Amino acid sequence: MQKYDKYKPSGVEWLGDVPEGWEVTKIKYIAELTPKKSELTELDKECSFVPMEKLKLGNLVLDETRTISDVYNGYTYFEDNDLLIAKVTPCFENKNFVIAEKLVNGIGFGSSEIYVLRVKNCLNRYLFYRLQENTFMDLAIGSMTGAGGLKRIPSEFLNNYSIALPPLEEQTAIAHYLDQKTAYIDRLIDRQQTLLEKLSEKRTALITEAVCGRLPIAPYSASLKRGTGFDEENGSPNTAQTAPLFSKEGLGEICLKDSGIQWLGKVPEGWEVIRLRFLCNIQTGNMDTQDNEPDGIYPFYVRSPIIERSNNYTFEDDEAVLMAGDGVGAGKVFHYVQGKYGCHQRVYSLNQFQNITGRFLFYYLREFFSRKIEEGGAKSTVDSVRLPMLKDFPTCVPPLSEQTTITHYLDQETAKIDRLRTQIETVIERLKEYRMALITQVVTGKVKV
């Protein structure tokens, strides 16, 4: 892409030199921030209603309506062609910006955490792209005020932010160019996201079928250590294979039986379904968030997928399965651990296993515990997992040798899927970086379209 023929100093530190013919101005001179709703007169009309979660980058979900009089007070007013910007963290950092279109009666109301820019001396689509630019985002995030997760962009920052504005004809050309280019990049990202979803589905199906004995898996040596998939003598993966554990032809040949549990389905004869209380010891940790030490010696497991560090430890186990007991991760966040580790007081530690390996139980719980929660109704989350619920959880238990075979197989196959996921996630991240770099270069006049 070529550059402009001539540039001039902008007089603004973060803008640097800008193309000749571009005018340096502040946003307040080209758009009205938070238009007054007093101009509305017909309050009995219907309008679109937009909660914050329905505002995303370039996408506004319009599936709710209200009477204007019902939302006139306490909500943000906007109209068709207004630029909407989420002003609160983390929605702002996620660039939840959109141009409102196809509103009921051309009018909308939404969350009070939305800024509205009504352009008057520029093209709305140019401003939509201009405010996605890297420097604006960095400075805006740096200007946020408030505490914790409720930080907001000050209106003064937005009003007084300086940009270089090209002539209207050039704004139109830039917006049209970016419409085409970003749409193409977004299609590429969507394809990669679809691959990620399919890999996740494949991973789930693989684990589900394996821990229920419905996959043809070749067994490994019985000398494998407690389901870890490593030979006791040399510590390396043991790959000695014999005949398939389950034949491809015939689930009938292995005599499947009904487990008696709807979400579990059929399992091989010879496998038992046993309540968890009879398979392991269940207890909680004794540490709190104040025990977190960023450079600590031991892993410290809290209620999120993130593993912290601490200089103290709660347990020392050959193997254990940890599960968040409350919070957003309740019944959904699981860890498999060995050795010394710290454990939050609201995290369950399952250890001292009998007739089941920790590794097998880890795979089983991660796939099936949420199904037990959903069994009683439509609610997909719980505020906390009570000990009786965990102790009474029905667990599918194959012979130990078959558990070892299954977990070794799953360790290998899920690792392959996870490597593919990492590669795809890297591609997605690079596409997003390219998208942002392209927008930045074009809207700041570093290159000419």
For the residues of 360-384, what is the DSSP string, one character each? HHHHHHHHHHHHHHHHTSS----SB
81 shares its domain with 158: yes
Dist. CA 44–CA 240, nearest whole Å? 76
Average pLDDT over residues 320-335: 92
Dist. CA 13–CA 24, nearest whole Å? 12
Residue 269: both structure tokens together: 């004869």
Average pLDDT over residues 256-277: 91
**16 burial via Cβ count (<10 Å: 0-12, 13-18, 19+):** middle
> CA Rg, the chain, in Å?
29
36 shares its domain with 141: yes
Would 179 be classed as within a structural domain?
no
Indicate the number of domains in the chain.
2
For residue 244, pLDDT beyond 70:
no
Four-residue CA torsion sign, 121, 123, 128, 131: negative
Q: What pLDDT is stored for residue 216 in this prediction?
A: 76
Instruction: Output the domain CATH number for residue 61.
Output: 3.90.220.20
For tokens 């299609």, the residue is 187
Q: What pLDDT is stored for residue 328 in this prediction?
A: 82
| Residue 357 neighbours by CB distance under 10 Å | 21
Range of the domain at 394: 199-423
Dist. CA 92–CA 113, nearest whole Å? 10
- pLDDT by residue (tens digit) across 169-213? 999 999 999 999 999 999 999 999 999 999 999 999 999 999 999
Name the 3-class secondary structure at 335: strand
- pLDDT by residue (tens digit) across 101-137? 999 999 999 999 999 999 998 999 999 999 999 999 9
- Model confidence at 255, pLDDT cuts 50, 70, 90, reads confident
Amino acid at 297: I
For residue 270, pLDDT beyond 70:
yes
Q: What pLDDT is stored for residue 381 in this prediction?
A: 52
| Residue 55 neighbours by CB distance under 10 Å | 22
Percent of the chain with pLDDT over 70: 89
- Model confidence at 348, pLDDT cuts 50, 70, 90, reads very high
- Model confidence at 246, pLDDT cuts 50, 70, 90, reads very low
| Average of per-residue pLDDT values in the chain | 89
Four-residue CA torsion sign, 194, 206, 266, 324: negative
- Model confidence at 340, pLDDT cuts 50, 70, 90, reads very high
Cis status of the peptide bond prior to 90, with omega within 30 of 0: yes
255 shares its domain with 387: yes
- pLDDT by residue (tens digit) across 274-317? 999 999 999 999 999 899 999 999 999 999 999 999 999 999 99
84 shares its domain with 210: no
Q: Which residues in 332-343 are b (16+ Cβ under 10 Å) and which e?
A: bbbbbbeeebbb
Please name the residue ranges forming H helices in 212-248: none
123 shares its domain with 261: no
259 shares its domain with 213: yes
For residue 223, pLDDT beyond 90:
no
- pLDDT by residue (tens digit) across 148-168? 668 999 999 999 999 999 999
Would 444 be classed as within a structural domain?
no
Would 442 be classed as within a structural domain?
no
Dist. CA 430–CA 434, nearest whole Å? 6
247 shares its domain with 384: yes
Would 192 be classed as within a structural domain?
no
Would 415 be classed as within a structural domain?
yes
- pLDDT by residue (tens digit) across 36-52? 998 898 999 999 999 99
The candidate with the shortest Cα–Cα distance to 263, out of 374, 123, 398, 133, is: 374
- Model confidence at 374, pLDDT cuts 50, 70, 90, reads low
For residue 231, pLDDT beyond 70:
no
Dist. CA 75–CA 114, nearest whole Å? 9
Q: What pLDDT is stored for residue 76 in this prediction?
A: 97
For tokens 């930045």, the residue is 440
95 shares its domain with 237: no
Would 316 be classed as within a structural domain?
yes
The candidate with the shortest Cα–Cα distance to 239, out of 416, 405, 413, is: 405
Q: Where are the beta strands (DSSP E) in 154-280?
A: 162-165, 256-258, 266-268, 272-275
328 shares its domain with 390: yes
For residue 379, pLDDT beyond 60:
no
Q: What pLDDT is stored for residue 202 in this prediction?
A: 96
The residues near 36 (Cβ < 8 Å, ≥ 6 apart) are none
CA dihedral 292, 296, 297, 303 (to 10 degrees): 30
- Model confidence at 253, pLDDT cuts 50, 70, 90, reads low
